[in-house]
Structure 1
Amino acid sequence: MSNEQVEKVRGWLTGRLPDDWFDEPVEVTLDREEITVVGRIPAPAMDADVSDVEREAALSGRIGAFRETTRERRIEIARELEHVSGRKVAWGVRCGDRRELFTRLAAPVMTRLRQPERQVLDTLVDAGVARSRSEALAWCVKLVGSNADTWLADLRQALAHVEEVRSGGPVP
């Protein structure tokens, strides 16, 4: 999606979100079906010598409290944004070193695969890595995404540049 679309959604959210929800501007991610909104909330104050278990429990508690106390307003804002944008809205927070998404859309994707690609998926299913071909394909996409971050970022940047050039061209 173009930077202009992201900026438009972020701007709309800046005007619509309560000022006391997040410590910094929200992170907005768009695709064809969904807008993901992630904001930073303050981490709970803790002594430096608390255990990792206690620290994780405190972060979980803070995130859970935010999720529950803002639920109705988030639903209201999401409905408005869904109406304006035609996309579903997912929410999440960053707290301390944790990033947690509350709800996410799972969109079906149709594809045709030849036998060698199907055999890859079937191997993952047979090995117990995935329960179905669909889950195996999702696993493969996640693996590629995590191992090709730099390449995908370069590709997204190139696509954004193409969009900018197109928008500056003549109008048919």
Structure 2
Amino acid sequence: MNANLSRVLSGGRGSAKTGNQWFAVAVATFLSASVVPVILLCVSLAIVDWQDVKEELSVFYISLLFSLAWVVMLGLPAFFLLRFLHRERITTLLAAGFVTGGLPLAILGWPLDTGSRSSFSTSWHGQFVDMVKDGVPTLYGWLSYLEEVAVIGVMGAISATTFWYVWVYFSRRPEPAGGLSGDGSKTPTLDQVK
């Protein structure tokens, strides 16, 4: 294995037990990517007829693939960076999950479009409101935008929390007396928050 990649995965400590770390990262990646699709599946099954389960399952699989790509392209690099900087804690992963979840939508969904003079109205929380008027977002347009970014950010934070706890669980190694693992580094525990 590449020495630099091993160093990043082990947080800069050069652990010889990276096979266990790779397994922990792989399981944590898959389970954290499945959080959003499971939430979407539960919500959709609660509001649709049970005869449409095949459609809901296809939506589940598509959202799982999309979520897995999102976690691999944005979440894992954030985790490895935090791990390299020795900042991998539940709090930093929560923040990274919120940012990696919400930031792409915030950039892609930016409501200002100076070239268009169109207007758009819709129902927002049971009230019919103008979202865009003459190409300029209204207060409701901005609130809707911020709400969407926050919801996706929270889902990213939930996914990152799942990643953290699964990673910690599968990263545990049997410890010799004294509480240190074979490479001299502390083994992560579930209550490691720092």
Q: TM-score range by the shorter chain?
A: under 0.3
Which structure is higher in strand share? 1
Task: Decide which structure has the larger Cα Rg and report it.
Answer: 2
User: Normalized against structure 1, the TM-score is what?
Assistant: 0.26
Which structure is richer in relative contact order (CA contacts within 8 A, separation 6 or more)? Answer: 2
